[in-house]
A and B are shown apart, each in its own frame.
Chain A
């Protein structure tokens, strides 16, 4: 009897030795239990697949003008209806979704990269470097976003356009501008994490074993600081999608005939009372995307906090 339980216990010990529960695996398990986050992942997954693969199956052109079919509600020929030039809304939304999502993800990556780099340097090196970098961050935080956007777009739009073409040029510009103006919170988060983590025992141990600074940062501190960064990143994606919409609204984003979600919404607003479908579908797309990304961020925050006890 005792031998059996003993061997079971041994076995369990052995197994746990084979596959130690790492931070990431633990986080994965926690995340899967976060119901709203999982719903978010599902919705976002559907959207991403639709936007990426949709145009290959749904081959209606995005700019076919047909006045006979204008402002029609959803029908078999036009599953999401048409706008006031008779252009198919589903085709436009699939096309625009690519841009909106690409803008969101790319500017998030830019914001996180810059933020992490600056925050890590400031937090690890400390001293005057820290001071300088944090004042720079404050400076950026205090910049009025919109006038700066106007200025940058005004200065660089034409040169970028001649260099890589209108659509790509504006894409780079929008992404750089949105990403370049949203790294400050990330930098502050990362710096705070670094300040506390670099004094922790395991980092001291690594230092004592002779690990060079770069290895200490990349192998030991950074992985432990990534939790809040990921959360901030997901929220940034949502913010970037909305920022792109407002840029389009001001006429500074993509050319007006490129149907990003924000643009479609802007075009539709005057027709809200008699062609609600035109605004509802892109509005719902933005809403669902942003909401699911926020829930995913929520789930990640809970999952990446190792102090939080997994509830069975």
Chain B
């Protein structure tokens, strides 16, 4: 183990990927004493471990006062099956619960289920064709009705019905059937062997809604259900008041199915403002207890933390900030759409140009100067869970090499210093959402490209427009009407299947599918298609991981995407707040009933 390795490990600890204890153990294993290891952590700016207090075991429900949380993009509706984006998923999660959730390590943790299905307990079929869920008994909905297998079956019928038009349809559509075995047992039957069985009824898309409330609104009338904004769930808090896009209030559920939980008497979720002002409200003024999604320069967070009112929470996720390369021509209109799959990009279709771009992204500077603790440099698009991370890739920042690559490919500098070939100039529009760290990344990339004779025009779009699913707006990320674009994306569950489907031919975003399909780069590769299809039914976890790694490698070698940063989850919490167990695989609020103040 040399200096570089140790530095790497330290980096892992600072960014939350490695626990303090694991680090100290590694160091002790290579012959250092524990105090010395702790010293190294201290000099790398890692806070000392909290004295391991016994886990908080409350003796009664409630008594914690109100919990005030800040979601600067506020929820707009509270039906988990219609949740677009994390804001709605999180808002719903206060009230609704799935059968199982995902903890920080990606483990499947039973919530409304009695136990996690596994091969050992026989709930998971060996052929991968079915899974049996045993439901927790004695759970009631907020209106007093019991929670039973009928509710679970109903959720499948509701979400899979195309007329209901749910957002979660992808997780339920391909199930063969969901059977009620008895009042508290359901069997999910798949059409083909399914290694990713923990999709339906798990995590964000698995939040369960009550049959007796939503049954009249299944199908075309789904959007008219009053309960879409007045949830009736099983969670630790029940509904009080909701102003879409502004505030959401909840009060303690006196009949919650976990004894002596939750701790707080009420929850208030407030929206509005931006990430930086939200960070201030928690870290500097202490008005709020928790703020979500702190995409703010690390330097600013560090300075705010010095006020001592709160701390920044960092945890590992699978999210990757990356630059996408457009494989179609965004400047030519074909059949009423630009970036049409019928076109090819005039200059980016040249592999040399893409290779050069890959060499011009100074990931180290972006990480060190902008994101700091909030991420680490990476060569991979698929970074987590760790079994899916490719060891075959590497990245470098090298302007000279980029220049050579372009010279060799025949791109000559013109009088203005911009390279051109056959009258086509290397001039790209590079878009992203409005967000200070992103604009800085753009500036860094633009400067390096200028040195290599590539002219970059920077464009930034308001986040609410850029990430909207409005088919009429050409500025959304899924239209991708520019040459390059940058945003963050990650596997929402501890599995790569849904995430890697973004590079399959049948997912190409176009006018026909109202740009709702997920292959935004419009990259098409038969090998990717084939690999992805086999991975969906491959029951051997090692072989399956190898397939996803191969897709990742194809994407990196062909520079379909340029990974910039493997981002961590970042939140701001008041100093006394405990028990969040923040995870990269599920909603921030997955553990809400266990949140408490020390």
Chain A residues proximal to chain B, CB less than 8 Å: 63, 65, 67, 70-71, 84-85, 154, 162, 166, 250-251, 255-257, 267, 269-271, 273-274
Contacts and interface: CB of A to CB of B under 8 A. Distances in A.
B434 interface: yes
A274 B303 contact: yes
Interface string B519-551: 000000000000000000000000000000000
B460 A251 contact: yes
A270 B444 CA distance: 19
Contacts, number: 53
A84 B446 contact: no
A256 B303 contact: no
A255 B443 contact: no
A271 B461 CA distance: 22
B297 interface: yes
A32 to B, nearest CB: 46
A65 B296 CA distance: 20
Given A85-B443, A255-B459, A256-B439, A70 B297 contact: no
B369 A273 contact: no
25 contacts: A63-B443, A63-B447, A65-B443, A65-B444, A67-B368, A67-B369, A70-B369, A84-B299, A84-B440, A154-B475, A251-B434, A251-B460, A251-B461, A255-B457, A255-B458, A255-B460, A256-B439, A256-B442, A256-B458, A257-B442, A257-B443, A269-B276, A270-B276, A270-B297, A270-B436
B462 interface: yes
Given A256-B439, A257-B446, A274-B303, A67 B365 contact: yes
B297 A84 contact: yes
Contacts of B331: 162
Interface in B271-305: 276, 296-297, 299-300, 303
Contacts of A251: 434, 460-462
B461 to A, nearest CB: 6
Main secondary structure of the interface of B (DSSP, over half): helix
B446 A250 contact: no
A166 B443 contact: no
Contacts of B276: 269-270
Given A166-B457, A270-B300, A85 B436 contact: no
Contacts of B300: 270-271
A63 B369 CA distance: 16
* Nearest 5 pairs of A and B residues by beta carbon: A270-B276, A251-B434, A256-B460, A256-B439, A257-B458
Of residues B276, B439, B442, which shows the largest number of chain A Cβ atoms within 10 Å of its Cβ? B439
A250 B464 CA distance: 11
A245 B262 CA distance: 47
Nearest to B284: A273
Contact of A65 (B434, B447, B461, B475): B447
A267 B276 CA distance: 12
Contacts of A274: 303
Interface string B454-475: 0001111110000000000001
Interface string B304-346: 0000000000000000000000000001000000000000000
A71 B299 CA distance: 11
A267 B439 contact: yes
B417 to A, nearest CB: 14
B482 to A, nearest CB: 10
Contacts of A162: 331
Nearest to A64: B447
A271 B297 CA distance: 10
Contacts of B461: 251
Interface string B361-382: 0000100110000000000000
B307 to A, nearest CB: 10
A166 B296 CA distance: 28
A267 B446 CA distance: 17
A154 B481 CA distance: 13
Of residues A63, A85, A256, A271, which shows the largest number of chain B Cβ atoms within 10 Å of its Cβ? A256
Number of chain B interface residues as a range: 20 to 34
A196 B512 CA distance: 62
Contacts of A255: 457-460
A162 B300 CA distance: 38
A157 B59 CA distance: 63
A84 B443 CA distance: 11
Interface string B426-441: 0000000010100110
A250 B439 contact: no
Nearest to A257: B458
Given A251-B461, A256-B459, 19 more contacts: A63-B443, A65-B447, A67-B369, A84-B299, A84-B369, A85-B443, A85-B444, A251-B460, A251-B462, A256-B439, A256-B442, A256-B458, A256-B460, A257-B442, A257-B443, A257-B446, A257-B458, A271-B300, A274-B303
Nearest to B434: A251
Of residues B303, B365, B442, B459, which shows the largest number of chain A Cβ atoms within 10 Å of its Cβ? B459
B248 to A, nearest CB: 26
Contacts of B368: 67
Contacts of B296: 270
A273 B442 contact: no
A271 B331 CA distance: 38
A256 B446 CA distance: 12
A256 to B, nearest CB: 5
A16 B276 CA distance: 67
Nearest to B481: A158
Nearest to B296: A270
Contacts of B462: 250-251
B490 to A, nearest CB: 25
B116 to A, nearest CB: 43
Contacts of B458: 255-257
A179 B272 CA distance: 32
Nearest to B274: A270
A255 B458 CA distance: 6
Contacts of A273: 303
B252 to A, nearest CB: 36
Contacts of A257: 439, 442-443, 446, 458
A269 to B, nearest CB: 8
Interface string B469-503: 00000010000000000000000000000000000
A63 B299 CA distance: 21
A273 B434 CA distance: 22
Contacts of A71: 299
Nearest to B276: A270
A270 B296 CA distance: 9
A176 to B, nearest CB: 20
Of residues B331, B368, B458, which shows the largest number of chain A Cβ atoms within 10 Å of its Cβ? B458
A70 to B, nearest CB: 7
Contacts of A63: 443, 446-447
A63 B439 CA distance: 13
B494 to A, nearest CB: 33
Contacts of B434: 251, 256
Contacts of A85: 369, 440, 443-444
B285 to A, nearest CB: 12
B303 A267 contact: no
Nearest to B475: A154
Contact of B436 (A65, A67, A154, A267): A267
A145 to B, nearest CB: 17
Contacts of B436: 267, 270
A257 B449 CA distance: 14
B309 to A, nearest CB: 14
Contacts of A256: 434, 439, 442, 458-460
Nearest to A271: B300
B425 to A, nearest CB: 13
A84 B434 CA distance: 17
A275 B475 CA distance: 33
Contacts of A154: 475
Contacts of B447: 63, 65
Interface string B233-251: 0000000000000000000
A293 B508 CA distance: 54
A190 B299 CA distance: 54
